[in-house]
Amino acid sequence: MAVRTSQNCRFKVSNMQFLNKKTSFNFMGKRKIAAIFSALLLLTSISSLVMQGLNFGIDFTGGTMIELAYEDTADLNAIRSTLEQGGYDDAIVQNFGSVHEVLIRLPVIETENMAELSNDVVTTLKTASSTEIDVRRVEFVGPQVGEELTEQGGLAMLYALIGILIYVSLRFEYRFAIGSVAALVHDVLLTLGVFSVFQLEFDLTVLAAILAIIGYSLNDTIVVFDRVRETFLKMRKGGSEEIVNIALNDTLSRTLMTSITTLLVVLSLFTFGGEVIHAFSIALLLGIVVGTYSSIYIASNVVLSMGVSKADLMPPVKEEGEEIGEDGSQV
């Protein structure tokens, strides 16, 4: 037992030493390849968003959602056939969590009251089924509410990006602000692109995940930029590309540890959280991977392309009678 504990300790220590090991990867040497790769992914995402759009959930489109639990295994084809015979041709039927649970989505029908509509659907299915059916939940969203949610969700992302642009401009320098916003737009578009290409349902939980991705990606980018600025001011010699490479390698272990631990949590949500938060978990998984990539290859790449140098990050020259703080502000 003691031997096994000792081996486990040595294994953990060796892993920590690997993560803390000083690296010297030439990240910026591959920045053109990364730019082409990202451009292709963005082109695919934007094309899909323009051509087929997002598969908006009931939160945005409006309609009725009914969750049912069957005592025996639910026959989806029989349920669809029953609903079609009842006049509900546009109903979307799918399993929800298990083969016994069924989720039915119905679009807004102007001529019917939503409460009466759900009752009619449940009655139709119970009449045609020989097994007991339990109604788990029924949700209604009006078309006007769906339109408002779509508009407010878009404005929330826009305001977040504008606030980030202002903050990073004040905290660092305008080129860093443009780089950070470029990385965030890259992450959001790629995540939306995956949802569009595979027509995954986009609901309010996914919108919340998109906003979380913006925060996560920005956190990574700020850490990298802070080290880039520190390295620029500390090193007397070396080109901009070399200095950015050193800064990226210095923060690599921190970036990997943060990403891996966060991924483990989100994977647990995806595996054990149930069908309700699957889309949310998928969006976060994509965001973590893409956000880690963009903090290295998009944000830093944009800053370098805009020609940032040590002179841009130096504090202003102190004039007579003025004192300059460590952050470059007048005291």
What's the rounded Cα separation, in Å, for the pair 245 and 228? 9
Where is the domain boundary, 116, 141, 166?
Answer: 141
Task: Answer whether residue 18 shows pLDDT above 60.
Answer: no
Q: What pTM does this model have? A: 0.76
Task: Say if residue 158 is in the same domain as residue 240.
Answer: yes
Average pLDDT over residues 156-184: 83
pLDDT (0 to 100) of residue 83 = 87
Where is the domain boundary, 102, 118, 141?
Answer: 141
Domain of 112 in residue numbering reads as 63-141
Task: Say if residue 114 is in the same domain as residue 236.
Answer: no
DSSP β-ladder status, 63-70 and 101-106:
antiparallel
Task: Say if residue 164 is in the same domain as residue 291.
Answer: yes
Number of folded domains that form the chain: 2
Task: Say if residue 158 is in the same domain as residue 115.
Answer: no
- Band (pLDDT 50/70/90 cuts) for residue 73 is confident
pLDDT more than 90, % of the chain? 22
Where is the domain boundary, 125, 141, 157?
Answer: 141
Task: Say if residue 67 is in the same domain as residue 126.
Answer: yes
Average pLDDT over residues 281-309: 90
pLDDT (0 to 100) of residue 143 = 61
Spell out the residues 6+ positions from residue 141 whose beta carbon is closer than 8 angstroms to its own.
Answer: 58, 59, 61, 62, 63
**Residue of 163, 148, 156 whose CA lies nearest to 188:** 156
The residues pairing with 201 across neighbouring beta strands, listed in sequence order, are 55
Spell out the residues 6+ positions from residue 127 whose beta carbon is closer than 8 angstroms to its own.
Answer: none
Mean pLDDT score of the chain: 81
